[in-house]
Amino acid sequence: MQYKPKKPPKPLFFENQTEPVAWACGTCGRVLPKDTVRTCCATKVCDCGVEYESHYTLCFECHCKKEAAKLQAKIDKAEKLETYDGPVYCENLDTYYPDFGTAWDDIRDGDIVWDDKATRDQELTFWACTIKKFNLDSGDIIIRACEGLSEECDVNDISDAGNAELQEILDGWVETYASHIETWYQDESRMLVIHPDYWKDYDEEWAKIREEDDAKQ
């Protein structure tokens, strides 16, 4: 990417001196160091030759191509799961779902119409997720309880048995009150294979809807 100033920068001189002491942007007049003045109020020229204005280092088309290539590389590398029933992340819709069935129902009932059969299989990418559950750690709690006490007090003052007993109590509490709390993270090493039947059902359903709509008109 290169900068193309709309108007050339103007050199600024002290009286009776021939070397410029600073530079002003030819468009807005801001005084800037010589190496950055060319970037002020400038049009960007992408490596492909297209002029553009966004904050990216590439034009929109090259940016999209680069992102698509990055995604394709991740897809090529990922393990493809035929069966999986945990939470999923849909790359295209930037949304997490508790499982693929819920995701699919949501997509079918939503407003998205995937008309382009040739590309839509690549268009929808579902990643498997890793699950991080709510957890209380006895060691952490003891460390925090020792904070503010004299320096000699630390986690080693509690025996292993005491530590283990506290952990057991905490695990029971979590099981009763907080077992529903968890966070999902997309795991880009594992992706779901979308069975063609899903699209078959989807196509049939949409064909029926269109037929009904046509009949009404």
| Interface residues toward Zn ion, by CB under 5 A | 25, 27-28, 30, 40-41, 46, 48, 50, 59, 62
Size of the chain in residues: 217
- Which of 25, 124 has the CB closer to Zn ion? 25
Residue 160 phi/psi, 5-degree rounding, is -55, -40
Residues 6+ apart with CB under 8 A from 28: 40, 41
Q: Which two tokens stand for residue 60?
A: 């929109």
d(CA 29, CA 117): 53
- Which of 54, 135 has the CB closer to Zn ion? 54
* CB-based contact 126:191 (threshold 8 Å): yes
- Which of 62, 136 has the CB closer to Zn ion? 62
- Which of 37, 191 has the CB closer to Zn ion? 37
CB of 1 to Zn ion, least distance (A): 9
* CB-based contact 205:104 (threshold 8 Å): no
